[in-house]
Amino acid sequence: MAFIDELAKRLGEVVKKVGEKSEELVELGKLNYEIFKEEDTIKRLYREIGQAVYEAYKQENNSLDAIYRLCQEIDEHREKIEGLKKRVENIKKEMQEEGAQAERQQPEAQHASRTGEQDSAQPGGAQETKQDVGGETKQNAGGEMTQGNNEKNVQEGI
Closest CA to 106 of 88, 127, 91, 85: 127
Give the type of residue at 64: L
pTM value is 0.53
Tens of pLDDT along the chain (158 residues) come to 788 888 888 999 889 888 888 888 999 999 999 999 999 999 999 999 999 888 888 887 777 788 888 899 999 999 999 999 999 999 999 888 888 887 887 766 565 555 554 444 444 444 444 444 444 444 455 554 444 444 344 343 43
Q: How far apart are CA 94 and CA 74, in angstroms?
A: 30
| 143 contacts 115 by C-beta, under 8 angstroms | yes
- Do residues 108 and 129 touch, judged by C-beta distance below 8 A? no
